[in-house]
């Protein structure tokens, strides 16, 4: 029986552990935190199948300076990290070229089209499928200009199989009566969904794996080394041998690939949210505020208001004013949202310049595999990523062209 070690116990690593266990191999998961990466359960809970367009599209690069100048705007760069971010920004600029952006669009659409195919069976077996709420998502606009500017994006989405329907302002409020008069246009995406609590999903998946004899080790991995017929994972506390290794450590992955001589251009895109435990409004589904770049989701633990993109590396302390700013934005749309006290959170999304995850065999060794860089879409793409990694490990024929997600594109 093959012995495969997965480094990383976030939603991607756990989903891969599930797929490999089902394939009949011995699986070990190593993470420095017994609960795994916090971004896996502090997110908005979205199954965002509509997000098939990369962040870097033609023209967007020149909007970045204005976004950065706004201290609580949708995008910020910590001053002490700006020089370190330049290589990533250059790759972001290259990814915005029309040819590259269209390639990224097709690659994202391929993953998201398959999101439910593997997710629903996995959720069913671990006992959480009832937590998947397939109620669609609402995307709202407050200006005619913002809505018109997004029409090309919506056309791409619909061409990629996203089921979207236009709503007038009044129709939008029929879907979500708590919305105020600020909303002028809406789009209803029927095949989007959300989970009631991403932390519960992660906890239940981990518990299922433990019950089914997947071994979990708490240790901080320092390096990965190849041997003639095996791999070694060097932890802070011990050294672990495996037939094959999967690296799934999110925003921390670039630190380990760099030691192996492989560039991946994965940066921490820190996101923020506030969860209001007892809100004085109710919503029925996820709402995306297209122009303000934030979302709201009605989770079982409260009303979660999340967004922002902050580039400052892994070591800068969070600026929780950004969590508060998101609540103030929400109040613009919901005039009856008065009770705003809640818990704040910040987490490191693993962001690539072209918005595509790295799902790939390593150049360093054919026994090492990569699964990271999913940005905002880790939960959405967790199960399809697990299937693709399993197919690579067993040299199975795939219906997906995995070259689109190879680390080779950065090397």
Query: What does the domain layout of the chain look like in residue ranges?
Result: 3-410
> Which residues have CB under 8 Å from 227's CB, separation 6+?
241
* Statement: residue 406 has pLDDT above 70: yes
Is the whole-model pTM more than 0.85? yes
* Statement: residue 304 has pLDDT above 80: yes
End-to-end, the C-alpha distance of the chain in Å comes to 33
pLDDT in tens, 58-67: 877 777 776 6
pLDDT, average across residues 308-332: 93
Cα separation, 404 vs 110, whole angstroms: 10
Does the domain at 3-410 match CATH 3.40.50.300? Answer given as no
Minimum mean pLDDT among 146-150, 205-209, 228-232, 308-312: which range? Answer: 308-312
pLDDT in tens, 95-124: 999 999 999 999 999 999 999 999 999 999
């Amino acid at each position: 029986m093959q012995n495969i070690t997965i480094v990383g116990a976030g939603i991607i690593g756990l989903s891969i552990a599930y797929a490999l266990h089902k394939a009949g191999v011995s699986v070990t998961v190593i993470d420095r935190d017994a609960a795994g990466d916090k971004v896996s359960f502090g997110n908005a809970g979205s199954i965002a199948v509509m997000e098939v367009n990369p962040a870097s599209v033609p023209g967007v690069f020149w909007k970045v300076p204005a976004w950065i100048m706004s201290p609580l705007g949708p995008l910020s760069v910590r001053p002490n990290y700006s020089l370190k971010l330049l290589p990533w920004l250059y790759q972001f600029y290259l990814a915005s070229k029309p040819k590259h952006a269209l390639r990224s669009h097709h690659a994202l659409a391929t993953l998201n089209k398959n999101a439910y195919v593997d997710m629903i069976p996995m959720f069913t077996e671990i006992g959480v499928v009832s937590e998947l709420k397939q109620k669609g998502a609402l995307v709202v606009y407050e200006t005619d200009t913002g809505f018109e500017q997004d029409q090309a994006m919506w056309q791409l989405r619909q061409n990629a199989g996203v089921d979207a329907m236009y709503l007038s302002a009044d129709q939008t409020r029929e879907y979500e009566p708590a919305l105020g008069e600020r909303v002028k246009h809406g789009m209803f995406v029927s095949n989007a969904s959300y989970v009631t609590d991403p932390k519960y999903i992660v906890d239940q998946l981990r518990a299922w794996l433990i019950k089914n004899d997947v071994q979990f080790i708490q240790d901080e991995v320092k390096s990965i080394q190849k041997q003639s017929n095996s791999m070694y994972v060097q932890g802070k506390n011990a050294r672990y041998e495996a037939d094959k290794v999967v690296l799934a450590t999110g925003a921390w992955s670039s630190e380990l690939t760099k030691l192996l001589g492989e560039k991946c251009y994965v940066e921490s895109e820190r996101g923020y949210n506030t969860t209001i435990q007892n809100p004085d409004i109710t919503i029925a589904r996820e709402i995306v505020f297209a122009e303000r770049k934030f979302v709201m989701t009605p989770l079982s633990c409260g009303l979660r208001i999340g967004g922002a993109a902050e580039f400052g590396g892994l070591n800068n302390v969070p600026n929780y004013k950004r969590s508060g700013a998101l609540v103030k934005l929400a109040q613009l749309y919901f005039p009856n949202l008065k009770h705003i006290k809640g818990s704040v959170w910040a987490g490191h999304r693993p962001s690539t310049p072209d918005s595509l995850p790295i799902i790939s065999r390593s150049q360093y060794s054919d026994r090492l595999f990569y699964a990271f860089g999913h940005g905002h879409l880790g939960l959405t793409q967790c199960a399809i990523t697990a299937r693709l990694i399993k197919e690579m490990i067993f040299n199975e024929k795939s219906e997906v062209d995995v070259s689109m997600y190879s680390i080779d594109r950065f090397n």
